[in-house]
Amino acid sequence: MSETQLSWVEERAQRASRNPIAQGLGFRDGASAPPQPAEARETGIDALDALESEAIHIIREVVAEFERPVLLFSGGKDSVLVLHLAAKAFWPGRVPFPVLHVDTGHNFPEVIDFRDRTVERLGLRLEVASVQDYLDDGRLQERADGTRNPLQTQPLLDAIAAGKHDAVFGGARRDEDKARAKERILSLRDEFGQWDPRNQRPELWDLYNGRHTVGQHVRAFPISNWTELDVWRYIEREGIELPPLYYAHEREVYRRDGMWRAISEVSPARVDEVVERRTVRYRTVGDMSCTGAVESHAASVADVVAEVATSTLTERGATRADDRISEAAMEDRKKDGYF
Amino acid sequence: MGDALFRFATAGSVDDGKSTLVGRLLHDSKAILADQLESVARTSAERGFGGEPGAIDFALLTDGLRAEREQGITIDVAYRYFSTGRRSFILADCPGHVQYTRNMVTGATTADAVVVLVDARNGVLEQTRRHLAVVALLRVPHVIIAVNKIDLLGYSQQAYDTVAADVAALARELGLADTHVIPVSALAGDNIVDRSANTPWYDGPSLLELLETLPSLDELETEFEALRFPVQLVVRPQGALAHDVDDTESFRDYRAFAGRISSGTVRVGDRVQVFPGGATTTVTGIDAGPDSVDEASAPRSVSLRLADQLDAARGAVIVAEGALPEPRRELDASVFWLGAAPLRPGARVLVKSGTTTVQALVPEIVGRRDLDSLELEPAQLLEINDIGQVRVRLSADLPVEEYVAHRRAGAFLVIDPQSGATLAAGIVTAPVTPTTGHAGSSTRTTTDTEGVAA
């Protein structure tokens, strides 16, 4: 600390008591004005505890202030985490809202199995918005590149409208992507589901403003502030079950765009691509047609925590073909109503 | 027990190098992963950033929106995450551009510290004053002034001392809490993570050292330590029990108050009172999900079981016995006006405080703070980015406290009842009257004692 700094610290209590402007800004007097910095107390609350309490607070606020919330549930680790937090928030009661799955038809079978078992176990109601239905009756058309991820938006918005859902929980995290880093915890969407990043509501303290008009809805992101490593450390701490493909297993894969892609009906290898058997795991779980695996021997939660802590690639950079289209791929999809 | 969480915000005028500083902090603390760095390096090269091959435009790491990258400015708050061995950090990177000042308020309300950038060549600017006024108003516990681009002045101690003296004067005017001034070069990395050999005349900590050691809001001793627990909702499953409840019989009549402790500690056996009404009862259980605990402190989310069947619902506040808040129908408040349309006397609004939203009337605008002189002047209306003093009449009793005594009980939102937009950040203050009979700049306060008393 320089001498200049020392001298103001010493003067602080005195000056606050004599300062009309400080008082005008809300400081009362020397005794109660600016907190002294050096008197830390042990709160006994670590980062995971703080993130858990923040998420539960958000989930309860939304349930208290909205009529018909729903949770977007894909069976991926982030939505599984939000469901776990909701179960804690209302225990010993049941989770007081249904879950919604936007089904692209390009799912990993073990994830669908996990989804159905989870819904059954927790006694939840499952709503499904099927992209395949839209393709079958011509409301949507298959893309040239075969990926169905961008096709989810319309079935999602229709399902939100049909269910009269005024709040939609999602497991999106700000550390996933540059556009998501700009997202509010409660994010207002118009009747077209559009996100307007240049005109977002200020979000102040932990006071969430869920007011909306007819036709609008709110997306709620309780784990906005969690990183991938936080998620895994919490999964380890709480013993949360995930679909098995998050852990190392052997699979028939081929190399495309620097990622290991699973061989399947919807993601066939081209003639010039060599199919081989590798030990891999998934860091994110989306469509089979656009999600890549990473080579890994992390077979347990503890192994995965250690792997994530030392990874040199982001989870989306390592595993998502759809985010590599352009620097603003996620921003463009979010503006169109994607989550 | 793992590392603790620390939240900080960054602010600065346009071109102070804020995005570069944030990028540097993330890069040097190894929070930037290889694929992000590669993408930024590629874009930097395409745009011909810097003279040297391989030079990186760190601002590209943080400016997430297309319009931001195109215009080279930050429009909205971007949140970034990194951790060191000692702490996990949440960084709110706030816009410096004047028309986006409202986003700076968003970042500062949850911050344990704010880092304000000042260009060493320009010194303290109007925007710096505005940012520091916001920080003072919102009572952010720590302010760090990063005197940036000190390398461009040959690491001149004199340049640093000039800024430090100006900041000291401003801190006195504003009654800022805990202020630190650090000479840095975001571009070169001086005093960001490690102390720099280029500034031997500076013997203070680096920016990261400071961020790792300053106490967070929840770690700070505050005046108000009594239990305060705003009820979010009542958990009453009535037979619709979770799958993992084995002993269904004993949970048949389960009833608990769910919320987040806003101050103090609650223990099983504590005597508590409930606002409104003031009924007294005893805490019989504290549940954190399926785990019962003996005690819990702010800011934990828990459910409280009470000995007596009380008529309490969302909006009620459970407090330590003897700490019942005074019901308030009228408030004196400072507001930071964020709405596009101005506030006029007589406006009907909604006020959200804690877990309660009530109708309210703003019968009087007491004044507007001149951000140059920082004094309160009479005003007919408040426009976007104005800080004003108002009186508020409420349609129902609220259990508020003055913000200086209790942050979470003194903070409120002003909401547009029609559109639902958030119009203002408000804080409850003691009554204030405007300074009258002076034009702004002629009454500029230069010392502690010369200010015109309210």
Q: Does the CA dihedral A308-A309-A312-A315 come out positive or negative?
A: positive
Per DSSP, the three-state class of B268 is coil
Distance CA B357, CA B415 (A): 9
Please tell me the distance from the alpha carbon of residue B445 to that of residue B172, in angstroms, as a whole number: 10
Residues of chain B numbered 10-29 and touching chain A (CB < 8 Å): none
Q: Minimal CA–CA distance to B86: which of A302, A40, A85?
A: A40
For residue A93, pLDDT over 60 is answered with yes
Q: Which of B4, B66, B420 sits opposite A46 (nearest CB)?
A: B4
CA-wise closest residue to A165 among A174, A175, A156: A156
Closest C-alpha to B345, from B369, B366, B364: B364
Tens digits of residue pLDDT in A140-199: 998 887 788 888 999 999 999 999 999 999 999 998 887 788 889 999 998 888 888 777
The percent of chain B in helix, strand and coil, each rounded to the nearest 5, is 20, 35, 45
Q: CA angle B88-B92-B98, nearest 5°?
A: 165
Q: Which residues pair with B425 in a beta bridge?
A: B336, B413
pLDDT value of position A29: 35
ipTM of the complex: 0.89
Q: Answer yes or no: do B448 and A47 touch at CB < 8 A.
A: no
Sheet of B178-183, strand order? B78-83, B87-93, B4-12, B113-119, B142-148, B178-183
Q: Do B172 and A197 touch (CB under 8 A)?
A: no
For residue B263, which of B304, B293, B230 has the smallest C-alpha distance?
A: B230
Cβ-defined contact of B403 to A47 (cutoff 8 Å): no
Name the region of B413 (left: φ>0; alpha: ψ -120 to 50; beta: rest).
beta
B209 touching chain A per CB within 8 A: no
Question: What was the pLDDT predicted at B33?
Answer: 61
Q: What is the pLDDT of residue B396?
A: 96
Nearest to B6 by CA among B64, B91, B105: B91
Query: CA-to-CA distance for B195 and B192, rounded, in angstroms?
Result: 7
pLDDT of residue B64: 56
Q: Compute the 3-state secondary structure of chain A and give helix, strand, coil in percent, each to the nearest 5.
A: 40, 15, 45
> pLDDT digit string (tens) for B165-205?
999 999 988 888 789 999 999 989 999 999 999 999 999 99
Rounded Cα gap, residues B97 and B15, in angstroms:
9
**Residue A27 clears pLDDT 80, i.e. is over it:** no
Nearest CA in chain A to B300: A53
Q: What confidence score (pLDDT) does residue B437 get?
A: 45
pLDDT at B232: 98
Contact predicate A11/B175, CB 8 Å: no
By Cβ distance, the residue of B136, B165, B251 closest to A4 is B165
Note the pLDDT of residue B307.
96
Give the orientation angle of helix A47-65 with respect to helix A228-238, to 10 degrees.
90
Which residues of chain B are within 8 Å of residue A29 when distances are taken between CB atoms? none
Size of chain A in residues: 339
Residue B233 CA, chain-centre distance (Å), reads 25
Contacts with A233 from chain B: Cβ below 8 Å: 2
State pLDDT tens for residues A264-318. Answer: 877 888 888 899 999 999 988 877 777 888 899 999 999 999 988 887 777 766 6
Picking from B1, B174, B180, the nearest residue to A21 by CB comes out as B174
The DSSP annotation for A110-142 comes to HHHHHHHHHHHHHT--EEEEEHHHHHHTTSS--
Within the 274-313 window of chain B, which residues sit less than 8 Å (CB to CB) from chain A?
Answer: 287-290, 297-301, 303
Contact residues for B24 (Cβ-Cβ < 8 A; gap 6+): B58, B186, B187, B189, B192
Interface test with B, best of A12, A27, A176, A227 (most B CBs within 10 A): A27
Q: For residue range A222-272, what is the model confidence (pLDDT) as tens digits? A: 999 999 999 999 999 999 999 999 999 999 999 988 788 888 877 888 888
Between B272 and A37, residue with greater pLDDT? B272
Q: How far apart are CA A271 and CA A286, in angstroms?
A: 25
Helix (H), strand (E) at residue B349 = strand B347-353
pLDDT in tens, chain B (454 residues): 568 899 999 987 667 777 788 888 887 776 666 666 666 666 666 665 554 444 566 666 665 555 655 555 556 788 888 888 789 999 998 876 655 567 778 888 999 999 999 999 999 888 888 888 888 889 999 999 999 999 999 999 999 999 999 999 999 888 887 899 999 999 899 999 999 999 999 999 999 999 999 999 888 755 558 999 999 999 998 878 888 888 888 888 899 999 999 999 999 999 999 999 999 999 999 999 999 999 999 999 999 999 998 888 999 999 999 999 999 999 999 999 999 999 999 999 999 999 999 999 999 999 998 877 778 999 999 999 889 999 999 999 999 999 988 899 999 999 999 999 999 999 999 988 776 544 433 333 333 333 333 3
What pLDDT digit, counting tens, does each position of A201-232 carry?
A: 889 999 999 999 888 999 999 999 999 999 99
Mean pLDDT of A3-8: 36
DSSP one-letter string for A141-174: ---TT---GGGGHHHHHHHHHHTT-SEEE----G
pLDDT the model gives residue B446: 34
B199 Cα to chain A: minimum distance (Å): 13
Residue A103 pLDDT level (bands cut at 50, 70, 90): very high
| Chain A residues within an 8 Å CB radius of B289 | 87-89, 91
The predicted pLDDT at position B452 comes to 33
Separation of alpha carbons B214 and B180, rounded Å: 11
- The minimal CB distance from B221 to the residues A7, A39, A52 is found for A39
- With a CB cutoff of 8 Å and minimum separation 6, the contacts of B31 are B80, B81, B82, B83
Interface test mutation site (partner A, options B243, B249, B350, max chain A beta carbons within 10 A): B243
Instruction: Identify all chain A residues contacting B290, using CB atoms and an 8 Å cutoff.
Output: 88, 91-92
Q: Is B451 exposed, middle or buried (0-12, 13-18, 19+ CB in 10 A)?
A: buried
As a residue count, chain B comes to 454
For residue A189, give the H/E element and its range: strand A186-189
- When CB atoms are compared, the residue of B109, B164, B352 closest to A209 is B352
Which among B306, B130, B236 is positioned nearest to A96, based on CA atoms? Answer: B236
Cβ within 8 Å of A, B 352-381: 352-355, 369, 374-376
Return the pLDDT at B51.
Answer: 44
Residue A78 CA to residue B244 CA, distance in Å, equals 21
- Chain B residues touching residue A34 (CB < 8 angstroms): 139, 175-178
What confidence score (pLDDT) does residue B113 get? 96
Beta bridge partners of B317: B230, B275
Report d(CA A74, CA A72) in Å as an integer.
Answer: 7
